[in-house]
A and B are shown apart, each in its own frame.
Chain A
Amino acid sequence: MSYLQLSNISKHFDEYVAVDNISLSVEKGEFISLLGPSGCGKTTTLQMVAGFLNPTAGSIVLDGKNITAMKPSERGLGIVFQKYALFPHMTVLENVAFGLEMRKVGKNERLQRAREALELVHLGLFIERYPRQLSGGQQQRVALARALVINPHLLLLDEPLSNLDAKLREDMQLELHDIQRRVGTTTIMVTHDQSEALAVSDRIAVMQSGRIEQIDKPFNVYEHPKSDFVSSFLGKTNTFEGRVSHGRLQVGGQHIAVDDLKLADSSNTRFALRPEKIRFCSDAPKISGKVSNRVFLGSQWIYEVQTPLGDFLIYESNNQKHDEIQEGETVGLSWDSQDMRLIAEEPASHV
């Protein structure tokens, strides 16, 4: 039995099905992200784990105990809210000590432990301030300290970094990862930001329309998306369709060798190809096309190339030694066949 087990959880709001029969197992110490667009049911799922919403069906078992109907105040979970929900009328120290006070920890001990928790998030100098006197990033750390100081059975993070600016968000991603590893608290994070989920999670559950589409390690979710949705939601992707016959893919009059994919003949097949897997080459390209647009991002270039297979997006790291490619130039493109991901196929009807 896993540490946390959600079994066949559903949540209906009148007619609307927010969460549709999902099951999820989380191991002790694991960091899991629920990733998906808004309205996919990830926040509703988190609210049910926290106890703020009652599941319409299903059960939640934490550490062998069924907590499905338990009050939120008795679950012993640490929660970091999207807008932090720091108590505006209490100092930073009082905010962090509040949970310990509720657990009837003596005054000296709880202040001591609250200070230690604030040291952990590098806020030892700000303990007498009020939340509004802190920056967004600092408030975020206070919220984290407040959730961790009670040694929660589970840490729930609701879009914890979404209110920070881009630079701070990257720093906090690394710090969150680091703190979670050190403390070892089992963590569930809700996010719509794929790079955040990829950076910090042990496993990612990609959700859509109230269901979990795929759950796996970040690398696997990115490299081996199980559905069209997952491949397009995580990162950019190029898709194209064609017909496979005799180990060759026919598409728009072109023939591309796909021998090593060992595909059966089919009438219609869709492939996905990540932009960073494509390279420019002058001899024996798989296809050629015309560069219609290019953008420099510092660490990499982004090209748009019009090809017979459709418009292709290509990422190239800023480390290439070939001549600069200009807009309007005709270029050859190539990639390894095994980087093509098969999304859907219809077997050829052998009439």
Chain B
Amino acid sequence: MSDLQSKRTPWLLSGPALLSYALLLVVPMLMTLVLSFRSFEPMLGVQDEFVVSNYIEVFTDPYFHEIFLRTFVMSALTAFFCVLIGVPEAYILNRMRAPWKGIFLLMTLGPLLISVVVRTLGWAVIFGREGVISETIQFLGLSDGPVSLMYTQTGVLIALVHVLVPFMVLSVWASLQRLDPETERAAISLGASQFTVMRRIVLPQITPGILSGSVIVFALAATAFATPAMIGGRRLKVVATTAYDEFLHSLNWPLGASLAVVLLILNIVIITGYNRFFERKYSQVFES
């Protein structure tokens, strides 16, 4: 805007938001950080002394190692399968004709508007002992008794992929929109086969979209609560459900807080680490 405008105006305009963030974001986060360094006595509750024992416990106890490892593996597999099915689906959607393109895009993205509780419930019904999968397997004679995917890694993985794959489609879709279709035609006119066009022309141009989609999916899977809680239950704990139990069932708030802090830091490291990488690698090519 013009230099006649006062320099204070933008600060006045963003002031209310900044103030409420200071109060509602910075203060609670700092309090959580402090809480994670407090000790806990089962009889007396939270004690006002500074200890690092919660972090020592999180980092040394094999119980937590297993939970962190499970969370990491599950998130990585979720991201992998989202790439595997989300990327081709986005590409296919983008090549569809007018009414179908819109309809199927809505069908893919629409579930994002429905609570994750509802979507996960659907899988719980499908995975249950009387569920569709169990009935089908028994009907085909592949198993004598009922089969359940509830409380299994596979079950949680399938549900997480379903919940998060729309983000992958969205991310790849966005980069496909920026792709000039003439570049594909140019490659064909130069004698490239369909497969070569895909590999040499399309894929390199949508790689940023795939990478950012993977990071989004990975981060959301690593911090997901509803799906692992409903499908995995107490038997397959992840970091989020463990922190939830420490807070609301064991009432060991300091330990829960330290789990939350570690989760937050890992999340931020992964996202910003990716951004750094992305900026270095792709900024020259995709600067607009």
Binding site for B on A (CB under 8 A): 51-54, 71-72
A-B pairs with the 7 shortest C-beta distances?
A: A52-B2, A54-B3, A54-B4, A53-B3, A53-B2, A71-B4, A51-B4
Can you sample 10 A-B contacts with CB below 8 Å?
A51-B4, A52-B2, A52-B4, A53-B2, A53-B3, A54-B3, A54-B4, A71-B4, A72-B2, A72-B4
State the B residues within 8 Å of A (CB): 2-4
Compute how far the CA of A53 lies from the CA of B5 in the bound complex, rounded to whole angstroms. Answer: 10
Alpha-carbon distance A186/B131, docked complex (angstroms): 82
What residues of chain A lie closer than 8 Å to B4, measured between beta carbons?
Answer: 51-52, 54, 71-72
A71 to B4, CA, bound (A): 8
Instruction: State the Cβ distance, A205 to closest chain B Cβ, in Å.
Output: 24
**Complex: how many Å from CA A71 to CA B3?**
11
From B2, which residue of chain A is reached at the shortest CB distance? A52
- Chain A interface mostly: loop
A53 to B2, CA, bound (A): 6
A51 to chain B: which residues have CB within 8 Å? 4
Q: Please, which residues of chain B bring their CB within 8 A of the CB of A72?
A: 2, 4
A53 to B3, CA, bound (A): 6
- A71 — which chain B residues lie within 8 A by C-beta? 4
- The B contact surface, by secondary structure, is loop
Question: How many angstroms between the C-alpha atoms of A72 and B2 in the bound complex?
Answer: 10
Distance, CA A51 to CA B3, complexed state (A)? 10
CB distance from B1 to the nearest CB of A (A): 9
Knowing that A51-B4, A52-B4 touch, tell me 8 more A-B residue pairs with CB under 8 angstroms.
A52-B2, A53-B2, A53-B3, A54-B3, A54-B4, A71-B4, A72-B2, A72-B4
Q: How far is the CA of A52 from the CA of B2 in the complex (A)?
A: 6
Q: Shortest distance in angstroms between A107's beta carbon and chain B's nearest beta carbon?
A: 31
The distance in angstroms between the C-alpha atoms of A52 and B4, with both chains bound, is 7
Complex CA gap A54/B4 in Å reads: 7
Chain A residue nearest to B3 in the complex (CB): A54
CA distance A71 to B2 in the complex (A): 11
Closest to B1 in A: A52
Q: Which residues of A contact B3 (CB under 8 A)?
A: 53-54
B60 vs chain A, min Cβ distance (A)? 55
Q: How far is the CA of A280 from the CA of B4 in the complex (A)?
A: 59
Cα A51 to Cα B2 with chains together (Å) = 9
For the complex, give the distance between the alpha carbons of A320 and B227 in Å. Answer: 87
Least CB separation from B4: chain A residue:
A54
Give Cα A71 to B93, complex, Å.
52
CB-CB nearest in chain B for A47: B2
CB distance from A118 to the nearest CB of B (A): 30
Q: Could you say which residues of chain A place their CB within 8 Å of the CB of B2?
A: 52-53, 72
| B-side contacts of A52, CB under 8 Å | 2, 4
Distance A52 CA – B150 CA, assembled complex (angstroms): 66
CB distance from B242 to the nearest CB of A (A): 53
C-alpha spacing A317/B3, complex, angstroms: 51
Shortest beta-carbon distance from B202 to chain A in Å: 32
- Once the chains are docked, how many angstroms separate the CA of A132 from the CA of B80? 45
Bound-state Cα–Cα, A122 to B3, Å: 38
How far apart are A4's CB and chain B's nearest CB, in angstroms?
Answer: 20
- Closest residue of B by beta carbon distance from A71: B4
In the bound complex, what is the Cα–Cα distance between A89 and B3 (angstroms)? 27
In the assembled complex, how far is the CB of residue A50 from the closest CB belonging to chain B, in whole angstroms? 10
CB distance from A194 to the nearest CB of B (A): 30
B23 to chain A, nearest CB (A): 36
Q: Which residue of B lies closest to A52 (CB)?
A: B2
Which residue in chain B gives the minimum CB-CB distance to A11? Answer: B3
Q: Nearest Cβ in chain B — how far from A218, in angstroms? A: 33
- In the complex, what residues of B have CB within 8 A of residue A54's CB? 3-4
CB distance from B59 to the nearest CB of A (A): 50
* Interchain CA distance A281-B2 in the complex, whole Å: 59
A24: shortest Cβ distance to chain B, in Å?
A: 22
Residue of B nearest to A50 (CB): B2
Inter-chain CA distance A238–B108, complex, in Å, is 65
Cα–Cα, bound, A54→B5 (Å): 11
* Residue of B with least CB distance to A69: B4
- Report the minimal beta-carbon distance from A52 to chain B, rounded to whole angstroms: 5
Instruction: Kindly provide the distance from the CB of B134 to the nearest chain A CB, expressed in whole angstroms.
Output: 57
A70 CB to nearest chain B CB (Å) = 10
Instruction: Output the least CB separation between B6 and chain A (Å).
Output: 13
What separation, in Å, do the CA atoms of A54 and B3 have in the docked complex? 7
Docked pose: A194 CA to B179 CA in angstroms:
37
Q: Looking at the assembled complex, report how far the CB atom of A12 sits from the nearest CB atom of chain B, in whole angstroms.
A: 11
Could you tell me the distance between the alpha carbons of A52 and B3 in the complex, rounded to whole angstroms? Answer: 8
Cα A51 to Cα B5 with chains together (Å): 12
Q: Taking the nearest CB of chain B, how far is it from the CB of A93, in angstroms?
A: 29
Complex CA gap A161/B151 in Å reads 69
Least CB distance from B240 to A in Å reads 46
Least Cβ–Cβ distance between B28 and chain A, in angstroms: 41
